[in-house]
Amino acid sequence: MSICDWLSDRMPSVALGETEWTPEEARHLGDCAPCNAEWRLLQTASRLGSAARLVPDPHATARAVLLRLGRPEPRFSARSWVFSALAAASIAAVMWVGGRGAAGNPGSEGTPVAAGLPMPLPELDALQPAELDSVLTTMDDSSSSPVPGDDVGLGDLDSEELQQVLDTWEG
- Given its phi and psi angles, is residue 53 left (phi above 0), alpha (psi -120 to 50 degrees) or beta? beta
Cα(112)–Cα(95) distance, integer angstroms? 9
* 64 φ/ψ angles, rounded to the nearest 5 degrees: -65, -40
Tell me how far, at minimum, the Cβ of 29 lies from another protein, in Å: 13
Residues contacting residue 19 through CB under 8 Å, at least 6 positions apart: 10, 13
Tell me how far, at minimum, the Cβ of 57 lies from another protein, in Å: 9
- Given its phi and psi angles, is residue 148 left (phi above 0), alpha (psi -120 to 50 degrees) or beta? beta
Tell me how far, at minimum, the Cβ of 44 lies from another protein, in Å: 5
Tell me how far, at minimum, the Cβ of 40 lies from another protein, in Å: 5
The interface mask with another protein, positions 25-64, x = CB under 8 A, is ---------x--xx-xxx-xxxxxxxxxxxxx-xx-xxxx
Nearer of residues 73 and 170 to another protein, judged by Cβ: 73
Site residues, another protein (CB under 8 A): 6, 8-10, 12-13, 15-16, 18, 34, 37-38, 40-42, 44-56, 58-59, 61-66, 68-69
